[in-house]
Amino acid sequence: MASISNAFSLSLPSNRIANSSSDFNPITSALSGLDSGEFSPGRVAVSKPSGIGGRICANATPVMDQPVGEKSSGAPTIVEVDLGNRSYPIYIGSGLFDQPELLQKHVHGKKVIVVTNTTIAPLYLDKVVEALTKGNTAVSVEYVILPDGEKFKDMDTLMKVFDKAIESRLDRRCTFVALGGGVIGDMCGFAAASFLVNFIQIPTTVMAQVDSSVGGKTGINHPLGKNLIGAFYQPQCVLIDTDTLDTLPDRELASGLAEVIKYGLIRDAEFFQWQEKNMEKLIARNPNALAYAIKRSCENKAEVVSFDEKESGLRATLNLGHTFGHAIETGFGYGQWLHGEAVAAGMVSCHGC
Amino acid sequence: MASISNAFSLSLPSNRIANSSSDFNPITSALSGLDSGEFSPGRVAVSKPSGIGGRICANATPVMDQPVGEKSSGAPTIVEVDLGNRSYPIYIGSGLFDQPELLQKHVHGKKVIVVTNTTIAPLYLDKVVEALTKGNTAVSVEYVILPDGEKFKDMDTLMKVFDKAIESRLDRRCTFVALGGGVIGDMCGFAAASFLVNFIQIPTTVMAQVDSSVGGKTGINHPLGKNLIGAFYQPQCVLIDTDTLDTLPDRELASGLAEVIKYGLIRDAEFFQWQEKNMEKLIARNPNALAYAIKRSCENKAEVVSFDEKESGLRATLNLGHTFGHAIETGFGYGQWLHGEAVAAGMVSCHGC
């Protein structure tokens, strides 16, 4: 059985690490920097490893043979984010674009604008438009296709969303739909917050599915810092069709799995153990393993968010590795490093915190 | 005694009205267009006047000899805006910049950024900085001075606030202070909302004091429409030093009084009657009359906002005249018409609604 550290080194590009040596592995090194006192809010205690490349064992609990869940074939798995009158469901499963009722019951008003990018639009825009309109001709759907990448998560690109919405004469009774990765979700969410309308998240990367689409953090970058301009704004629902991961590049998959591992590290020892046993399946894109990892990650994030919606305390634990990670992303130019890569390297840096 | 219509015509520039005739008066005409069925949520029933220039009488209630309130000399009048955990006080009075404790008890963190404009900064920035820091050297104050006018209420100017905040290394534990009219308040409030920090409103025009600084509507204009990008975001407090009105141009005073009259029209017959008796004092800037009009207007707005914070119903009554008014402002170019002038003309247009 491959350990997380070894399995993960298959996917993360070593040339993304400044001053890397040939055997440098950010996840391995991140884990090597942990001791049991560093993540006090978590439920997991991690033994101090002997060095780079060492295997990580989660305290004394035996590694469990956690099931990977039933194959998603019909009804989606639902994770509820409990935020009072801002609560919403996360639907997780295969083939969810073929279940139009899931989206349609969360559409507000008669007009929808789908915000997506040049990579995702050719793959999934038609499917989503069909899901929004099938059997419901009263709804009209507009869309805006933005350039793809973190470096476009800025005010100029955000204005294109407002331009389209206003040219289309949308008012407050409409719905914005974010179709894409974390950049699209963050921008569309902030646009919806600033246009005072409802929105729906349809994340298409692991990173967006397990992190950025859950919890209502929306926003854009400033040239001097990442995510500095934004709002806490909760969606009406999150729809995760795991089939979208079939088209995800390997590097994006690895970046997302770094966030999955983070949940195990900071607060869920059993999940961490499950990851140890199932990392090869995750990297091989086993749909059941991915669906389970996404569900469990969303449950963890939803629980944290429900305790601390606006990041005044506990929720900050989710930022493990993010201080240095954001500095890397900003310093090297947005888009040079994927978020998960930078965060993984940031977790390494936490060793010296 | 001068009626509202006659008194008001002294101040509103007739050349602001498209196709104006020499005796056209937007307030007069606005009032002339009203009938008792048009403003159903209000408490006031207005008799239908005979024509342009006709005197308006608020139903059968006798006009009361409402006192203009005691001279503000010490403790401010306080109007509470009741919004649960987002409640806040509005302080109204003369000499409030000389009472630093009023501001300082609402400052969050050790860093403050004052957002103001080129007109207001030479007049009041030093006073406000002194009020923020007197006897409290632990607080450091930065400021950003924006160009003055509605045409600068845009994304480019908003970015200057973010630039300053980020260059000054402000984080979420800081306070933004809006010092100026409605444009500054709206932009600073939206900047604070999008930077996830607290803010304080110090409005320096009648318009901002009785309308835009109360209720948490913040935002900027889009080239295709006014106030289309924004957030509902409540301040920590509103501080209205009525002495700032000493430097207010006549045209700005008239624009603000149009909003004061609006409260009388839509929901407060007694206040309307009081205005009838005291309009000359208001135009002559009698400090007691102004303080009372501001207090009563804030009470009206606070009551509406407390029922309907996010403008889903009742609060929309405050938009009397705004649909056409915003169209005028957008169509002629932002800043060509003052907001109150455009709204007054919009009220005229409501005659045909």
CA R_g for chain A: 20
Cβ partners under 8 Å of residue B274, min gap 6: B64, B66, B264, B292, B296
Site from B166, B229, B233 to mutate, A interface, most A CB atoms within 10 angstroms: B229
Closest in B163, B194, B224 to A166, CB measured: B224
Closest in A163, A224, A231 to B194, CB measured: A231
Given pLDDT bands bounded at 50, 70 and 90, which one contains residue B310? confident
Site from A155, A228, A233 to mutate, B interface, most B CB atoms within 10 angstroms: A228
Structure tokens at A258: 């770094």
Span of A249-263, B55-69, B159-173, B259-273 with lowest mean pLDDT: B55-69
Given pLDDT bands bounded at 50, 70 and 90, which one contains residue A133? very high
Span of B135-139, B162-166, B344-348 with lowest mean pLDDT: B344-348
Given pLDDT bands bounded at 50, 70 and 90, which one contains residue B311? confident
d(CA B234, CA B214): 8
User: Do A166 and B222 lie within an 8 Å CB cutoff?
Assistant: yes
Would you say B269 and B44 are in contact if contact means Cβ atoms under 8 Å apart?
yes
Residue B205 has phi, psi (to 5 degrees) of -125, 155
Judged against a pLDDT cut of 90, whether residue B324 lies above it is answered with no
DSSP A149: S
Cβ partners under 8 Å of residue B25, min gap 6: B5, B8, B9, B12, B14, B52, B53
Q: Is A224's Cβ below 8 Å from some Cβ in B?
A: yes
Number of other CB atoms surrounding residue B104 within 10 Å: 16
Q: Is B228's Cβ below 8 Å from some Cβ in A?
A: yes
User: Do A222 and B166 lie within an 8 Å CB cutoff?
Assistant: yes
pTM of the model: 0.77
Closest in B167, B224, B229 to A194, CB measured: B229
CA angle A125/A127/A131 to nearest 5° reads 115
Compute the nearest-CA separation of A151 from chain B (Å). 17
Closest in B167, B195, B229 to A162, CB measured: B229
d(CA A293, CA A69): 9
Residue B85 has phi, psi (to 5 degrees) of -75, 5
pLDDT, position B74: 79
d(CA B353, CA A353): 65
Number of other CB atoms surrounding residue A224 within 10 Å: 13
Span of A61-75, B232-246, B299-313 with lowest mean pLDDT: A61-75
> What is the tens place of the pLDDT at every residue in A196-252?
999 999 999 999 999 988 889 999 999 998 999 999 999 999 999 999 999 999 999
Where do the domains of chain A lie, and which CATH numbers do they carry?
4-67+250-288+303-352 (1.20.1090), 77-247 (3.40.50.1970)
pLDDT, position A213: 85
pLDDT averaged over every residue in chain B? 79
d(CA B223, CA A148): 26
Given pLDDT bands bounded at 50, 70 and 90, which one contains residue A13? very low
Compute the nearest-CA separation of A259 from chain B (Å). 25
For residue B294, CA distances in Å to A208, A333, B73, B89, B182 come to: 49, 50, 16, 14, 15
Compute the nearest-CA separation of B14 from chain A (Å). 32
User: Do A162 and B310 lie within an 8 Å CB cutoff?
Assistant: no
d(CA B221, CA B230): 9
Tell me which chain B residues have a C-beta less than 8 angstroms from the C-beta of A232: 196
Compute the nearest-CA separation of B30 from chain A (Å). 27
Tell me which chain B residues have a C-beta less than 8 angstroms from the C-beta of A229: 162, 194-195
Strands (DSSP E) found in chain A: 77-81, 88-93, 111-117, 140-146, 174-180, 198-203, 217-222, 225-232, 237-241
Span of A224-228, B281-285, B302-306, B325-329 with lowest mean pLDDT: B325-329
Sign (positive or negative) of CA dihedral B283, B287, B292, B294: positive
Q: Is A166's Cβ below 8 Å from some Cβ in B?
A: yes
Q: Is A215's Cβ below 8 Å from some Cβ in B?
A: no
Closest in B155, B194, B310 to A230, CB measured: B194
- Residue of chain B whose Cα is closest to the Cα of A173: B312
Compute the nearest-CA separation of A288 from chain B (Å). 38
For residue A51, CA distances in Å to A20, A34, A353 come to: 16, 11, 17
pLDDT-above-90 percentage for chain A: 61
Sign (positive or negative) of CA dihedral A248, A250, A251, A257: positive
> What is the tens place of the pLDDT at every residue in B175-200?
999 999 999 999 999 999 999 999 99
User: Do A232 and B194 lie within an 8 Å CB cutoff?
Assistant: no
Predicted-assembly ipTM surpassing the 0.85 threshold: no
Q: Is B154's Cβ below 8 Å from some Cβ in A?
A: no
The pLDDT of B48-69, averaged and rounded, is 35
d(CA A288, CA A215): 24
Q: Is A246's Cβ below 8 Å from some Cβ in B?
A: no
> What is the tens place of the pLDDT at every residue in A69-97?
444 457 899 999 999 999 999 999 999 99
For chains A and B, CB pairs below 8 A equal 49
Closest in A194, A222, A225 to B231, CB measured: A194
Tell me which chain A residues have a C-beta less than 8 angstroms from the C-beta of B230: 194, 196
CA R_g for chain B: 20
Q: Is B10's Cβ below 8 Å from some Cβ in A?
A: no
CB environment B150-189: b (16+ within 10 A), e (fewer): bebbbbebbebbbebbbeeebeeebbbbbbbbbbbbbbbb
Closest in A166, A222, A229 to B228, CB measured: A166
